[in-house]
Amino acid sequence: MQPDSDDEAWRAIVDNYGDRPRLDPDDARGDDPDADGREDDASAWATEEPQESVEEDDERFVPPPPPPLPRVAPDRLTAWVGVFGAPTVLLTALVLGVHISAWLGYLLVAAFVGGFIYLVAQMPRGPRDPFDDGARL
């Protein structure tokens, strides 16, 4: 039966939204548990034993330990502490209501700005390898 207009077609779709057709048991195909219209029986699926064996667990890949983290140069470490540490101290003092003297506030702002300028100035000017597209094997 074809609807006479688009409005009737949309109305039929909305009215029947979520309904699932029931199939006769003779028409059910395959191993799909929902194909014959009955709900999933979790207990039937839970009785199956896992296919993995203990031997397969022993043969799993174990990656080598990662190399140690590289040491940061003291000048860069100081710059990073200024970039992240100064705003942290200022924000913590603001939240806790601790009064910071003017000279300490100016020192923290200078540490932030100085650390940022130092890190930007130390950035490499060009690419490490102009033909490197980032792919690794």
Per-domain boundaries in the chain: 74-121
Max CA distance (Å), the chain = 87
At 80, is the pLDDT very low, low, confident or very high (cuts 50, 70, 90)?
A: very high
Distances (CA, A) of 49 to 44, 52, 55, 104: 11, 9, 16, 67
Chain centroid, CA 105 distance in Å: 37
Report, as an integer, the average pLDDT of 60-79.
92
Confidence (pTM)? 0.48
pLDDT score of 43 more than 70: no
Report, as an integer, the average pLDDT of 110-137.
85
The pLDDT score that the predictor gives to residue 40 is 54
Share of the chain above pLDDT 90, in %: 43
At 135, is the pLDDT very low, low, confident or very high (cuts 50, 70, 90)?
A: confident
Q: What is the mean pLDDT of the chain?
A: 80
The pLDDT score that the predictor gives to residue 64 is 93
pLDDT tens, 2-42? 657 888 888 888 888 887 777 777 765 555 555 555 555 55
CA distance 16 to 18: 6
Report, as an integer, the average pLDDT of 74-93.
96
Indicate the SS3 state at residue 115: helix
Cα dihedral 121→116→119→76 (10° resolution) = 140
Among 5-9, 19-23, 73-77, 94-98, which stretch is predicted with the lowest mean pLDDT?
A: 19-23
